[in-house]
Amino acid sequence: MTPDAILVLTTCADEAQAESLATALLDQRLAACVSRLPGLRSWYRWEGRVNREDEVLVLIKSQADRYPALEAAIVELHDYEVPEILALPVAAGLPAYLAWLTDQLEVPDMPPGTSG
């Protein structure tokens, strides 16, 4: 059975932070794919004030069993004191895509004679 796919949403202050986060999550095999959507305008209340900020929405495709490590990595790497991190279950998806997602999160076997 394929592990449960999830879509994790977070926002970043700019493209550079979104790219850095995406690269780290892919390198750590916590995400199979990361998509960035620039041009987002967020309105939110923080420390008693209403703020408006331009942000980049980041869509992270992963699996439920990776969520704890994924959340910890986002918190560690993120510039925000309290980053938005929302995990949504994937109700259905193209079986071939879900299989690909699973394959991307597996750590490849190390060639003989090498160490990890």
* Tens-digit pLDDT profile for residues 91-107: 999 999 999 999 999 87
Q: What is the pLDDT of residue 84?
A: 96
**Tens digit of each residue's pLDDT (9 = 90 or more) over 21-72:** 999 999 999 999 999 998 999 999 999 999 999 999 999 999 999 999 999 9
- Residues with Cβ within 8 Å of residue 53, at least 6 apart in sequence: 13, 41, 42, 44
Question: DSSP secondary structure string, the chain?
Answer: -PPPEEEEEEEESSHHHHHHHHHHHHHTTS-SEEEEEEEEEEEEEETTEEEEEEEEEEEEEEEGGGHHHHHHHHHHH-SSSS---EEEE-----HHHHHHHHHHHSPPPPPTT---
Q: What is the pLDDT of residue 114?
A: 53
Whether the CB-CB separation of 30 and 74 falls below 8 Å is answered with no
The residue count of the chain comes to 116
pLDDT band for position 113 (cuts 50, 70, 90): low
Q: Is 90 exceeded by the pLDDT of residue 109?
A: no
pLDDT band for position 108 (cuts 50, 70, 90): confident
Kindly list the structural domains of the chain, giving each domain's residue range(s) and its CATH number in brackets, ordered by start. 5-105 (3.30.70.120)
Global pTM? 0.88
Token pair for residue 33? 């794919």
Token pair for residue 71? 């959340």
**Tens digit of each residue's pLDDT (9 = 90 or more) over 51-64:** 999 999 999 999 99
